[in-house]
Amino acid sequence: MAKTVSERADLLPLLGEVFRSHGYEGATLALISKATGLGKGSLYHFFPDGKAQMAAEVLAEIDHWFEVNIFAVLRKSDDPALAIAEMIAGVDRYFRSGHRVCLVGVIALGASRDIFSSQVQDYFSRWNDALAQTLRRAGFSAGVARRRSADALLTIQGALVLARALDDAKVFGQAMADMKARLLAK
């Protein structure tokens, strides 16, 4: 039989797209197999615990991407305005200007939230903390910082939902621009 070795690292993004577009329950092994080009044998070789493990590792990879590219920047930067601009640029890149959906959000809304609740909660609260910290450094009170931070996070999620519902990615771009202005206003 063929031996076209697959790297686990190459697999996760493909799995991510399947979960993104079909949700956890909708992502069948058949779909995953087709998307990755791998039979069940290979899939279960890499992920002995099956679908749940695949989703967990995809979430972990996404978490890592945001940790490195977004959260860390927010925490380290001593220029809040720049850090926020970089966050928004990163988010826009990641979500392909509103054409891509947030897997963490998708899972949060679904029944599978219960299985992944700690990962989902952790992702958003670490983002929330990092952004609030940045806003505090910009001179806002703790209360204002946390409110604006939550507002930014929810704006991103909502913009993705609405852009997809209306099939109009411009909604996302506009929301990001509005949010940017709002975050550091007065």
Partner DNA sequence: GACTCGCTGTACCGATCGGTACAGTCTCCG
Partner DNA sequence: CGGAGACTGTACCGATCGGTACAGCGAGTC
For the bound state, the minimum distance from the C-beta of residue 116 to a second copy, rounded and expressed in Å, comes to 10
Instruction: Mark 11-50 with x for binding to DNA (rule: CB under 7 A) and - for no binding.
Output: ----------------xxxxx-----xxxxxx-xxx-x-x
CB contact at 8 A, 155 and 98 = no
Residues 6+ apart with CB under 8 A from 78: 137
For DNA, the closer of residues 44 and 124 by Cβ is 44
Q: With H, G, I as helix, E, B as strand and everything else as coil, classify residue 21.
A: helix
With binding defined as CB under 7 A, does residue 124 bind DNA? no
CB contact at 8 A, 91 and 150 = no
Instruction: Give the CA angle between residues 77, 80, 84 to the nearest 5°.
Output: 95
For the bound state, the minimum distance from the C-beta of residue 62 to DNA, rounded and expressed in Å, comes to 20
With binding defined as CB under 7 A, does residue 73 bind DNA? no
Number of residues this chain uses to bind DNA (CB under 7 A): 24
CA distances from 24 to 3, 35, 37, 51, 131 (A): 29, 15, 19, 8, 28
For the bound state, the minimum distance from the C-beta of residue 123 to a second copy, rounded and expressed in Å, comes to 8
With binding defined as CB under 7 A, does residue 5 bind DNA? yes
**Site residues, DNA (CB under 7 A):** 1-6, 27-31, 37-42, 44-46, 48, 50-52
